[in-house]
């Protein structure tokens, strides 16, 4: 029990011998994972230790409770503070118990305002220790936290999350001259997209800033790993089958901790989206989030929804736009929805078997029987060495059929030609326009030449006068465009047999 004069028991945190975790570990943690908190309302010495070296010093000194600026949190502050506490309790095996302060009992964590004239100091706090001040969090009345509500997404809410991280036993991940042998994170990890305990706002391109357009609303991947190392994971949080739903109306900057079950990330918006289901993977979902320097966005938008280490999210459903989906090492259902959607597999083609099903495709990993992904409404499949177009009922089918009719069956194997056609189709050419584009690429000028070419490619020999003249007349009279004639030829049974459209549907068609 914490009294105003004696803190609860603490115990050593031992190194994990993993740099990314050790860089965040303080020396001591609370022994009991039931951690109390309170909001002080009095600066009477009956509520604060004045013992030298152990408490806040003499009531006549300049210790935090004795400051003229010291004051309790507002009721709105208290609600937001408790919301921040909950973000830590969601991921770690701790629970927070609220106490009303008495002269006999106060919280392990106590939060109130005091003053640091340095306005850039938003707040400060004390890690678990033997002193009565251990776990206490002080908000600077000179800072914007005294003027701004601590709403999720604001710098102020992230600051409260950061201070609670300290109050639980996390340190800063960067060099501290007063603790110069402590582990520190390398520069690519020492930033706030990976840990709330950092002071640095770099994005993945390394652009430095001094703010986010929207701040993290949960502990991030490295915070979760470190706090779970110290206290254990919260294995009751999202232990069932969960759907994480995202839309365009909201902005997200968070890390998902999920204790089990069959889970889905679902995006219902229309913005282009990247969903990466890998543990410690990063997705771009919903409204874009930026690192900023003096309110100016730096570089591209930053990954804004992360998955904690050790978490398996099985399924992803993308939105209305052109999306990218990345599965993990378990069996995933990846549903692209509308748009031209790409599934990216970070291995070579020959490690996988591709099979067509009634609803799409399955992609099976030879080296891991637990990794068979089901693809639905996925147009493109990108391996590390091969790209396949699977939309033989869509753009890829139009391109393949036109290549067969206009350039001959062998052109199907020309991955460069396939790639050019797909780019044109994906960028908006309709089937007839694509046919026109293909005919123009042949350089042929006269109707006779065009009809002869198409006939020859379909039937393997030049047409007779009688065979070609009706089509030449249609073209010359303008009753049919060259593009439409190319489509007519492309859709003919002779052509689809020639190019083995049924077979292409099984295998997809390669392109570059
Ligand atoms: Zn700090």
3-state secondary structure 456-472: HHHHCCCCCHHHHHHHH
Q: Give the phi and the psi of residue 65 in degrees, each rounded to 5.
A: -70, -20
pLDDT tens digits for range 430-484: 999 999 999 999 999 999 999 999 999 999 999 999 999 999 999 999 999 999 9
Ligand 1 centroid from CA 90, angstroms: 21
Token digits of residue 90: 């969601």
Distance 160 CA to ligand 1 centre (A): 10
DSSP assigned state of 71: B
Secondary structure class of 349 (helix, strand, coil): helix
Q: Determine the distance separating the centroid of ligand 1 and the alpha carbon of 121, expressed in angstroms.
A: 10
Lowest mean pLDDT among 40-54, 249-263, 312-326: 40-54
Output the six-digit token pair for 48. 């604060």
Distance (angstroms) between ligand 1 centre and the Cα of 500 equals 64
Q: How far is the CA of 158 from the centre of ligand 1 (A)?
A: 11
Beta bridge partners of 109: 37
Position 63 scores a pLDDT of 87
User: Which residue do the tokens 């409404």 mark?
Assistant: 377
Tell me the percentage of the chain whose pLDDT exceeds 90.
93
Query: Taking residues 55-67, what's their average pLDDT?
Result: 85
pLDDT-derived band at 249, boundaries 50, 70, 90: very high
Please, is 34 exposed, middle or buried when counting C-beta atoms within 10 Å of its C-beta (0-12, 13-18, 19+)?
Answer: exposed
**69-99 pLDDT tens trace:** 999 999 999 999 999 999 999 999 999 999 9
Distance from the alpha carbon of residue 176 to the mean position of ligand 1, in angstroms = 11
Q: Sort strands 360-365 and 342-344 into parallel, antiparallel or unpaired.
A: unpaired
Q: DSSP state, 407?
A: I
State whether residue 59 is helix, strand or coil: coil
Task: Determine the Cα–Cα distance for residues 268 and 252; give it in Å rounded to an integer.
Answer: 14
Model confidence over 130-144: pLDDT tens digits? 999 999 999 999 999
| Rounded Cα gap, residues 413 and 397, in angstroms | 14
User: Looking at the predicted structure, is the pLDDT value of residue 226 above 70?
Assistant: yes
CA of 433 to the centre of ligand 1 (A): 60
Phi, psi of 315 (to 5 degrees): -125, 150
424 in catalytic set: no
Cα–Cα distances in Å, from 54 out to 114, 123, 465, 511? Answer: 19, 21, 106, 70
Higher pLDDT, 118 or 342: 342
Dist. CA 204 → ligand 1 center (Å): 22
Does residue 62 register a pLDDT over 80?
no
Write down the catalytic residue from 64, 163, 387, 432.
163
Model pLDDT for residues 142-172, shown as the tens digit of each residue: 999 999 999 999 999 999 999 999 999 999 9
| CA pair distance 238, 173, nearest whole angstrom | 29
Half-sphere exposure of 465 (CA within 13 A, CB side): 0
Task: Say how many Å lie between the CA of residue 145 and the centre of ligand 1.
Answer: 15
pLDDT band for position 52 (cuts 50, 70, 90): confident
Q: How far is the CA of 163 from the centre of ligand 1 (A)?
A: 6
Across all residues in the chain, what is the average pLDDT?
96
Q: How remote is the CA of residue 386 from the centroid of ligand 1, in Å?
A: 47
Residue 315 tokens read as 């399924």
CA of 139 to the centre of ligand 1 (A): 12
CA–centroid distance, residue 173 to ligand 1 (Å): 10
215 in Cβ contact with 195 (< 8 Å):
no
pLDDT of residue 207: 87
Instruction: For the chain, report the end-to-end CA distance as a whole number of angstroms.
Output: 67
Rounded CA-CA distance 34/38 in Å is 13
Query: pLDDT value at position 256?
Result: 98
| Beta-sheet strands, E only, within 117-230 | 123-125, 137-140, 211-212
Strand partners, 12: 28
Question: Nearest to residue 306, comparing CAs of 256, 247, 250?
Answer: 256
Residue 60 has pLDDT above 80, yes or no: no
pLDDT at 1 over 80: no
CA of residue 417 to ligand 1 center, whole Å? 56
* Angstrom distance (rounded) from CA 171 to CA 184: 10
pLDDT at 203: 86
> What separation in Å is there between the alpha carbon of 6 and the centre of ligand 1?
24
Cα 509 from Cα 279, distance rounded (Å): 31
Neighbours of 338 (CB within 10 A): 13
Domains and CATH numbers, the chain: 10-202 (3.40.390.10), 238-385 (no CATH), 395-511 (no CATH)
Unique residue bearing structure tokens 């251990």 = 134
Tell me the CA–centroid distance for residue 33 and ligand 1, in Å.
22
| pTM exceeds 0.85 for this model | yes
pLDDT digits (tens, 9 = 90+) for 345-396: 999 999 999 999 999 999 999 999 899 999 999 999 999 999 999 999 999 9
- Beta pairing class for 282-283 and 305-307: antiparallel
C-alpha distances in angstroms, 69 versus 55, 163, 362? 19, 20, 64
**φ/ψ (deg, to 5) at 194:** -100, -35
Q: Tell me what pLDDT residue 397 has.
A: 98
């Amino acid at each position: 029990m914490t009294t105003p004069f004696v803190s609860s028991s603490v115990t050593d945190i031992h190194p994990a011998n993993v740099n990314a975790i050790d860089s965040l570990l303080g020396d001591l943690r609370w022994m009991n994972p039931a951690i109390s908190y309170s909001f002080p309302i009095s600066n009477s010495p009956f509520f604060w230790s004045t013992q030298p070296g152990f408490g806040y010093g003499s009531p006549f000194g300049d210790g935090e409770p004795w400051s003229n600026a010291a004051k309790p949190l507002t009721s709105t502050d208290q609600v937001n503070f408790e919301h921040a506490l909950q973000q830590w309790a969601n991921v770690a095996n701790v629970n927070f118990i609220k106490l009303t302060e008495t002269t006999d009992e106060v919280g392990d964590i106590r939060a109130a305002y005091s003053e640091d004239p340095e306005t850039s100091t938003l707040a400060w706090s004390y890690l678990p220790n033997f002193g009565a001040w251990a776990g206490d969090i002080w908000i600077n009345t000179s800072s914007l936290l005294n003027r701004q509500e601590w709403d999720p997404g604001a710098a102020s809410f992230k600051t409260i999350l950061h201070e609670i991280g300290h109050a639980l036993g996390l340190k800063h991940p960067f060099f501290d001259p007063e603790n110069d042998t402590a582990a520190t994170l390398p520069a690519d990890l020492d930033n706030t997209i990976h840990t709330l305990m950092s002071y640095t706002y770099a994005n993945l391109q390394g652009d430095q800033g001094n703010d986010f357009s929207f701040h993290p609303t949960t502990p991030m991947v490295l915070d979760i790993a470190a706090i779970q190392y110290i206290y254990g994971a919260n294995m009751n949080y999202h232990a069932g089958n969960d759907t994480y739903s995202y839309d365009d109306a909201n902005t997200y900057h968070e890390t998902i901790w999920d204790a089990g079950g069959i889970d889905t990330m679902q995006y219902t918006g229309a913005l282009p989206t990247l969903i990466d289901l890998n543990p410690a993977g990063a997705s771009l979902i919903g409204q874009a989030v930026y690192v900023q320097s003096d309110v100016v966005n730096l570089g591209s938008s930053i990954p804004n929804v992360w998955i904690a280490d050790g978490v398996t999210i099985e399924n992803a459903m993308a939105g209305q736009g052109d999306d990218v989906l990345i599965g993990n090492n378990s069996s995933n259902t990846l549903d692209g929805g509308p748009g031209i959607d790409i599934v990216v597999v970070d291995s070579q083609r020959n490690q996988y078997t591709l099979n067509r099903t009634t609803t799409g495709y399955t992609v099976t990993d030879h080296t891991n029987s637990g990794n068979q992904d089901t693809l639905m409404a996925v147009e493109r499949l990108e391996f590390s060495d091969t790209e396949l177009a699977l939309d033989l009922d869509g753009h890829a089918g139009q391109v393949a059929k036109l290549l067969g009719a206009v350039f001959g069956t062998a052109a199907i194997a020309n991955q460069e030609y396939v790639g050019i056609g797909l780019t044109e189709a994906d960028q908006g050419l309709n089937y007839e326009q694509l046919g026109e584009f293909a005919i123009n690429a042949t350089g042929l000028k006269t109707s006779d030449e065009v009809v002869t070419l198409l006939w020859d490619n379909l039937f393997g020999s030049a047409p007779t006068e009688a065979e070609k003249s009706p089509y030449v007349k249609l073209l010359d009279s303008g009753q049919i465009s060259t593009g439409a004639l190319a489509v007519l030829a492309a859709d003919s049974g002779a052509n689809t047999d020639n190019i083995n459209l049924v077979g292409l549907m099984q295998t997809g068609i390669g392109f570059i």
